Structure 1
Amino acid sequence: MTHLYLSALRFDFRCPTLQQLVERLAEPARRPLDCYTRALYAFALLGQSRPEGLTVMEEVLAQAEEHPKTLHVLLHGLWLGQDLDQGAERLLALSSRPALATGSDPIVLFRVAGALRRLGRYDEGLGAIDRAIDCLPSGDISVHADLVRERSLICAARDLHQHRSPARTSSGVPS
């Protein structure tokens, strides 16, 4: 029951509330937290771009091995934490773990596309988001809108980047 409630808070992006609840569960008088709950705690911290979330994430990764649901929680936290030191690079590294690097999980591809956008690797991001859209089951409108929105963000970021860069001739000299 606890996992369900904490997961609901995760998907509602209620990071401070999730953090507080897990911290109450972790009080010394209680039993140690399981790996998944600790991953949810890391998510709460990462989602707030708090650097201590990276430490908790590393501790969870040392125990989680290749448990897909736990890895997805951490991936989600890295995706949400826009101001984490090397957050996009860490997300890409995590997404390359065997449990996530199937190439057929639209959520992993969605998060990878966002990381690539943050890194300015727009063409790769478009490729990842197009693969994500292609991997969705027909009629899955709940996730489709998020993927299309990410595709639009990548295109807008690419267009903005191209308009900010000075026009160059074929020799590489600004025109």
Structure 2
Amino acid sequence: MTLPVRRPGRARALLDTEARATAHPADTSWPVRLAGDLRELDADWRESAEVCANAAWAARSAGHSVLGLLSPERATAAGPDPVTSRTFRHLYLSALRFDFRCPTLQAFIEQLPSTALRSLDCYSRALYVFALLGQSRPEGLALMDEVLAEAGEHAKTLHVLLHGLWLGQDLEQGAERLLALSSRPGFDTGRDPILLFRVAGALRRLGRYGEGLAAIDRALDLLPPGDIAVHADLVRERSLIAAARDMPYPSPAGGTAA
């Protein structure tokens, strides 16, 4: 986890905040405490995105999804301050993303009041773009470019967009766009197993099976021990690449090539 340092000790404080949020996922009050901690730190949208995405994933992995802790009304309500409102929104939208609930995420954003829509932070807009891309909606591509212009090298935001391109199987040049995005400086290309997993899928779609297998094998080697759910996804992708590589293809005269 890479966090910007705005003053000495800030990165440590943010890591401690995340640790408190993820320590007891069954405790239904942790989102409120997290909002208070981020408010005390006056966290910006980048810092909130880092902490909230990780906390939402940890809660989901422990069987206590944020979707069972925060209602849509709570996630859209105007909080006592902007940081609290953004915290609940980041948590809720991240949970929808991790469950691949693209239509619900899209509808959630589009029903926000116009004033809230205009003031959405870059990460929230990236999550909206994810919802569109995940449904292979072409308007998501133009919005993605707008988000990229603001996001810079913020890895969490780039991962959200990459996830959308990976999920949107029917996007025009989706695989090529994914590979182009994966080369941006914000990514740790050689050491990020999730990035390599997405890249392997794009390479499979392009018929570059040898490169895809190399990417997925590297991802498997880098995956932290005990990450069973993600390991299963990686093994499944490897099987898909191998099956596609070995699939007989039609010959020009009909039938299949030897």
2:114 corresponds to 1:28: yes
| Superposed CA RMSD | 1.4
Q: How far does residue 114 in structure 1 lie from its aligned partner after superposition? A: 0.1
Structure 2 distance, partners of 1:129, 1:29, is 43
The residue identity in structure 1 corresponding to 2:180 is A
1:14 equivalent among 97, 101, 110:
101
Structure 1 distance, partners of 2:226, 2:105, is 32
Structure 2 distance, partners of 1:64, 1:51, is 20
SS in 2 for 1:73: helix
Structure 1 distance, partners of 2:250, 2:184, is 35
TM-score after normalising by structure 2: 0.62
Kept after mapping to 1: 8 A contact 2:182/2:189: no
Structure 1 distance, partners of 2:218, 2:244, is 19
- The structure showing larger relative contact order (alpha-carbon pairs under 8 Å, at least 6 residues apart) is 1
Q: Answer with 69-78 or 2-11: which moved more.
A: 2-11
In terms of Rg, which structure is larger?
2
Equivalent residues in 2 for 1:12-161, closer than 5 Å: 12-25=99-112, 27-30=113-116, 32-160=119-247
Q: How far does residue 101 in structure 1 lie from its aligned partner after superposition? A: 4.1
2:249 corresponds to 1:164: yes
Structure 1 distance, partners of 2:139, 2:235, is 32
The residue identity in structure 1 corresponding to 2:170 is D
Q: How far does residue 165 in structure 1 lie from its aligned partner after superposition? A: 5.0
Aligned length: 165
Q: How far does residue 142 in structure 1 lie from its aligned partner after superposition? A: 1.9
Q: Between the two proteins, what is the percent identity of the paired residues?
A: 76
Q: Answer with 109-118 or 4-13: which moved more.
A: 4-13
- Ranges in structure 1 where 5+ consecutive residues have no aligned partner: 167-173
> Which 4+ runs in 1 deviate beyond 6 A?
none
The residue identity in structure 1 corresponding to 2:124 is T
Q: How far does residue 79 in structure 1 lie from its aligned partner after superposition? A: 0.1
Structure 2 distance, partners of 1:11, 1:118, is 23
Q: Answer with 56-65 or 134-143: which moved more.
A: 134-143
TM-score after normalising by structure 1: 0.90
Structure 1 distance, partners of 2:223, 2:149, is 31
Cα deviation digits, residues 19-41 of structure 1 (max 9, x gap): 0111122x323351100000000
Kept after mapping to 2: 8 A contact 1:46/1:80: yes
Cα deviation digits, residues 79-120 of structure 1 (max 9, x gap): 000000000000000000111143110000000000000000
